[in-house]
Structure formats: C-alpha cells, structure tokens
A and B are shown apart, each in its own frame.
Chain A
C-alpha cells in the first residue's frame, strides 16, 4: 500500500516528466525504522509487564493474611516490589525495581547529588544507566532485553543499504534529473491547498538520509554496548528507532507540512530520550525545557508556512520554488513578505538547531544517554534547521536581509557558545557547547549563501562530533564502571576526575584525537576543509564576491557584515581548537586523578563500543576529501583523491534555483582570485588553538572535582556559569510569565469562577424555594392533580 504511486499532483507532473531516476523502495527506508519502533515498543511493553510486581488478586479477602508482613493488599504496589523480588518473582532487570533507587536525588548542581547520602551507589551516574548491573542476576537475559540488540541496529542497517542503493542509482543518472517523488496518499486537500504524503528523493535528501542511517547505524551499534544493562533497554531502542523514522520523514518529505511532521516527531523523540531517566527530576526538567523551547521555534515554522501558502500558493518544495522563480505570484525580491517568511522559518531553525536566542535547551539535553547526545543532539536532529534553510534556499536568497540575519546569528552563536565551552568541566557539556558553536558555523555558511559549505560542514560535523560524543560515552562508561566497582560517589563525567586515560582507553583516545584535530581544523582532517570553506566564504563576501555583499542590513552594507562574520568565526574557530585541546588534555593526558583503587577497573569494553568509534574516526579523518576546493590555493594541493568539489557538483541541482534568483537580481559574480592568506590564517588558528591549550594546560597540576575549584576568577566564573544566560532568561522570561500566570489565575479564580459559581448558587436558591411546594403528602398531590384536571376540563368546556 505504501508503494502506491499516485500521479495526481500538478507539481509532481512538473518534475517527474522525463525523469531518469527511479527510486528503489523509497518508503521502505522510512518504513524499516518504524517497523523497528513497533517491534521494540512491543518488547518494551512486554518487559514492563513482566517486571510488574505481582499484585494480589482483586477481591480476595483472604489474600492478605498470607503476606501479612508488608502491609495491606491495598497498599501501593511499589511497596511489594522489593519483597517480591526477593521471593523470586522478578528474576530480570526491571524498571520498577530501580524506581526505589535515588528518586529523591535532586541534582540542581552535581555536587549536591554526589553527596546525597541516601543512595551512594547511583548518585554518581547521572548519565550512566547501569544501576541494575550488580543487582541483576547473572543468568541469561530475557528475550525482551536481547532482541532489541538485533532489531534496532538491523532495521537501521537495512535502511542504510537501501539509501546506498538509491544513492548509487541516482549517481548513475545522467544530467540533472536527480529528483524523484513517491506519493503514498493525498493527505490534505482543501480548495487550492494540496498536500500529499509524499517523499522526495533528490541529492540533498539522499545525502541527509545517508548521514542519518549511516551514522545512526553506528550509534545504534554503540548503544548496544552502552545501554544493554539498563532496565529500560527495549524502551530506549524503540525511541531511538522512532527518532530515526521521524528524522527520515523530515529530510525526505516533499513539502513543508510533511517536513513539519518529522520536525515535530524528532522533537518528541528528543524529549522522550532526554528524559529517558525520568526518575531524576533534573532529567525530566531538561526534557521539558527542550520541548518547550522547541515549541517557540515550531510556532515560527507554522507562521512561515501560513505566510508562504498565503503569498506563494503552495507548500511543496517544487511548486514553491517554481512559483517564486517564475514570478507568477509577484513576490518581490527582498520584499517584506518574503523576508518575513524567511525569518519565521529561521525562528523555527533556531529552536531546533539551538541558535541564539533558543540555544539554551541543548546543553541541558545532555541529561539523556550519551549515544542519544551523539545521534540526536550532535549529528542529526540539531542540523535539521540547517537542512531547512538549504531546502528553502530560494526563499532565503530572495530575502538578502534575512540571510544576513541568519549568518549574523550563526556567527554570534558560534563565538558565544565557544566561549562558554572554554570553561566547562563536564566532558559532555564541553561537547554540547561545541555543538552549538559548530551549528553556528553552519548557519553562518548558509546565511551567507554558501549552502554547500553549510551542508559539507553538517556532514563532517556529523562524523567528528558523533565520534567525539561516542568517545565521551566510552570514557564515561569506563569511568562509571571504575567508580561503581569501588563504590566511589565521584562524578563520572567531570574531567577533573579523569586524566591520563589514554593508557587505559587507547582506541577511544586515538579516535577522539583524530576527531579533535578534525574539529579544530587541522589539515588534512575533515573539519579543516569544511570550516575553511565557511570562513573563506565570509572573507570572499567581505571582498565583494558574494550576492549578499551589496545587500544591506540595518543600513550597513553586506560586505562589512561578512567581514565581521569572518572575524567572529575566526575567533570562534580559535576557541574551538583551544577548548577541544583542553578537553583532550584534561581527559587523556597528565596523571590519572580517578583514584588508585579505581584505576584498576579502567578498561575498554567490547567491540560494540569500539567499532563505531573506529569507523567514525576514519570518516572524521578522510571525510573532508569529498569536497576539496579546487579554486583555492594551498587547499587545491590537498586534492589527493581527485574528488575535488564532489559535493558541490552533487548538490548543484538542489541550489540551482537559489543561484538563478541571485543571478537574476544581483547579476553574475565575476571571476574571483582567491587569496592565500585566509588558508594560512585558518591553519594557524587551528594549530595555534591546540598549541596554546597544550602550552597553558598540559603542565597544570589539577585536583579532582572535590579539591579543584571550578573557576579561579570572575571571567572564568562568568564563563563557567554560561554568561548567566539561564538566570537572565529566568528573570526576563520565566518569572514574568509566571507572574502573569499568577495574575490570570487570580482573575480566573476570583472573577470567572465567581460568575460560574453564581449560576450554581442561583439554581440552588430556586431549588430550595420551589422545593417547599413538595410536601411529601400524597393527599396534596392528589388535590393538585384533581384541580389540574378540573382546569383542563373547564378550559375545554369554556372554549
């Protein structure tokens, strides 16, 4: 049924005529992860049912006498769990079982949670879920906890294979007919609004699909090793599969509404996975924060869709681009309307992709399991905003002012987040701010019209950041295991408790080192090429070689903005190299600070944790060669594999519309001679940042989290506290809203409820008054009846 081809759509006819590319089972790409979700979901329900404490039979009054020792049968079921587990009822890891641990830990800050005397065992693993691993029996795991290990990565690998098939087929097609639409059914049809449940396979979406399913498969494999001891393992795998399904809908949808379905769906999965260990309130709060902040962005997305339909008359990408390019709908280049559409879309993107002003949720999102951080909050979901801008490249190109805003916000986010990353001690927080910062780079790129550079950085970032996150996951896993084995309540994520880990985790160290070199922008690793292309685009624009150079924002010409952006990004890149170097030094170099007894337990685990790291490390090392700029000096000479600008050629059909708009309205950009100095600057920045970190930090004697203060002076304190941005938001937004809510609550209870109550009281008064008529004496009723009959009869006679 899903494969049903329906050729009803006008826009479809527009493109599918003379189409050389026939997709291979496109619906199966999204269908497989959905299947995985359904199967794993059923398993998790089953696991939850099997883990339930055996409740006394309902209505059996004699049951309680046999089990007198723990209260009444009516007592909360949870009270039974430990006792019954001891009896032997629950011989498997159960989520209910772990409900009893650490529920009262309230880690507003980690120190408080660490010293929570109530449950020393579990306090140190905010992130790690292996609470049950020494409570669980040694016997074989139930099938509900083994099958997901096959299903979840299996469906992903299947989807990846399909994506590769489609990619190869698309590559084999001559010319530019790389588009294919695949409809399932008509979703909405109201007057002129027609939305089909339809997939669009084109160079951009297939590239995203390859990243999602490829990196996703690796992260699913990593998750096996990382999460298999968790009582909620099947639930976790189900959510992860569901996320991939929605993410594929997001990138493969052929229209904004279908994309929005995926957009909302990944938000939901993000919420579910951030709050995966919801028994700790901080985790649940982080999930809510992510969801609510995203909601603001989604509002922007919706408004943009309404405006777009109102002015352009369509919502599917093909028709929107066609209408804008043909000028049928009279949407003015650079006009207020198209600028508004672009800015509202960008508001949506800031929510999903954690840009100023909506970036605050992403660092908190690290409360989820680390593979989730790698997949959702680094490699795929947070790049959805970049994808949206690239997908809407025609719209953004038509609104130069909005494009400059995008670039400017991206650049500011890049430097702002990078500065916070300089002074974080939590290894995942460093990576979280690094992600925000790198997303800022991507937005700067797409904002400056360098769409391919943005997508390129998206791809390389997916490789090296996923590798870094998984590496940090491996570190945390090892740390947690070591600390857990010795019942040490220290924080497994704090870099002050690490140090010298390269001896104990060699594979993790090497892969993370490669990824660090990549993100720092050291040639020839992948990040160098992509980041250099972005900063290079800014310098080019500053010299007038960009269609935005002549545009103006706030009365300042685009070229000056782009110079500013270039400078900002350069500083941000330097900070990136510095904080990544700092993270590596504190984690892997120097003396080990974990503890003498703990050190014996530090080791790497099975292949499921290592294989994804190695593959991603290789991709991080060599991924950059996909798109070596052939025009730029120095970089040109690094075109070792002859694959120069492959991504540019590949994505050309997707951004052809944007180029056309730019050419029509701004004119062709002439030949440009690339200077060599930006390249040398980039190399100096990358190596310089790492070198500075090494010189300043490698000899520093550091204490553990208990002895080493988090900051030494005011600047560090400000950075450690993230520029007090959460506090500022609290004062500027949360508290006023709360005050307003209180006001409304008072109005609601005082005025509205009073009016409603009034009607109730009136009814009561009337009731009491007329109730007096009811004497309760049969004789009275009989009398009234007779009188009534007489009146009726009399009226008959009288009339």
Chain B
C-alpha cells in the first residue's frame, strides 16, 4: 500500500470502527425513534455504514466490494423514493408520521 501512493494510509481499524459506530447509531435510531422520517434516515445510515465497510475492505478483498457499493446506493435510492412516497400517502390519511399511530394490522 505504502509503495503505491506514499501517502499515509488511514488504518483499516479506523474505518471499520467508524462503520460500526455509524451502524450502531442507525440501529439505535430505528429502535428508539418514532418519527418515520428519522427512521428512514437511520436506515440510510446503516446502509451507508455498510458501504463504508465495503469500500474500506476493497483493497484487501478485491474490487467486488466497490461494485457492490454502487448497487447498494442504487437500491437505497429506490427504497428512499418508494418509502417516502408511502410516507406521504400515510401522512395524507393520518396527518402524522409518528410510528406509534401505525399499528392498524395488530391483533
């Protein structure tokens, strides 16, 4: 690595650690928060944490990781589009994006 660029490399442990922290924040947000928009953002956060891990690992594991990241981004974009559309539709009916109001299918 060093001989490739000469620039000091960020150690792998740092990037993986950051990825883990971001993922943890995302998980915690999904568990704790009730605002649907925020939940979305937390999901996106988790996806991007995984992206970060892919990218960080790609020098060791090959290019597949980086290619995978593009897929994840594409899927995340689509998911965001659909999810937000659902959110808007739900909001029109319920005047709320609070998840605690959406338990219609419960027993």
A interface, CB within 8 angstroms of B: 768, 771-772, 774-779, 782-783, 786
Contacts and interface: CB of A to CB of B under 8 A. Distances in A.
A597 B33 CA distance: 101
B32 interface: yes
Closest 7 CB pairs of A and B: A776-B103, A776-B106, A771-B107, A782-B30, A783-B31, A778-B99, A782-B31
Interface string B65-107: 0000000000000000000000000000000000110111111
A779 B30 contact: yes
A779 to B, nearest CB: 5
B103 A779 contact: no
B99 A777 contact: yes
Nearest to B39: A778
B27 interface: yes
Nearest to B36: A778
A782 B30 CA distance: 7
Contacts of A774: 106-107
Given A776-B104, A779-B31, 18 more contacts: A771-B107, A772-B107, A774-B106, A774-B107, A776-B103, A777-B99, A777-B100, A778-B30, A778-B39, A778-B99, A779-B32, A779-B33, A779-B34, A782-B27, A782-B30, A782-B31, A783-B31, A786-B27
Contacts of B106: 774-776
A197 B106 CA distance: 64
Interface of B: 27, 30-34, 39, 99-100, 102-107
Contacts of A783: 31
Nearest to A783: B31
A774 B34 CA distance: 17
Nearest to B100: A777
Nearest to B106: A776
A774 B100 CA distance: 13
B103 A775 contact: yes
A782 B28 CA distance: 9
Contacts of B103: 775-777
B107 A778 contact: no
B99 A779 contact: yes
Contacts of B39: 778
Contacts of B32: 779
A778 B99 CA distance: 7
11 contacts: A768-B107, A775-B103, A775-B106, A776-B103, A777-B99, A778-B39, A778-B99, A778-B102, A779-B33, A779-B99, A782-B27
A216 to B, nearest CB: 70
A768 B106 CA distance: 12
A561 B67 CA distance: 107
A771 B107 CA distance: 6
Contacts of B105: 776
A578 B32 CA distance: 105
Contacts of B107: 768, 771-772, 774
Contacts of A782: 27, 30-31
Nearest to B24: A786
Contacts of A777: 99-100, 103
A580 B99 CA distance: 95
Contacts of A778: 30, 39, 99, 102
Nearest to A784: B31
A403 to B, nearest CB: 75
Nearest to A778: B99
From B33, B99, B107, name the one whose CB has the most chain A CB atoms within 10 angstroms.
B107
A786 B28 CA distance: 10
Contacts of A772: 107
A786 B27 CA distance: 8
Contact of A786 (B31, B99, B100, B102): B31
Nearest to A768: B107
Nearest to A767: B107
A777 B103 CA distance: 6
Nearest to A786: B27
Contacts of A786: 27, 31
Contacts of B34: 779
A549 B56 CA distance: 114
From A768, A774, A776, A777, name the one whose CB has the most chain B CB atoms within 10 angstroms.
A776
B97 to A, nearest CB: 12
Contacts of B100: 777
B67 to A, nearest CB: 25
B30 to A, nearest CB: 4
B90 to A, nearest CB: 12
A768 B107 CA distance: 8
A111 B31 CA distance: 86
Contacts of A775: 103, 106
A743 B32 CA distance: 63
Nearest to A789: B27
A332 to B, nearest CB: 74
A422 B39 CA distance: 98
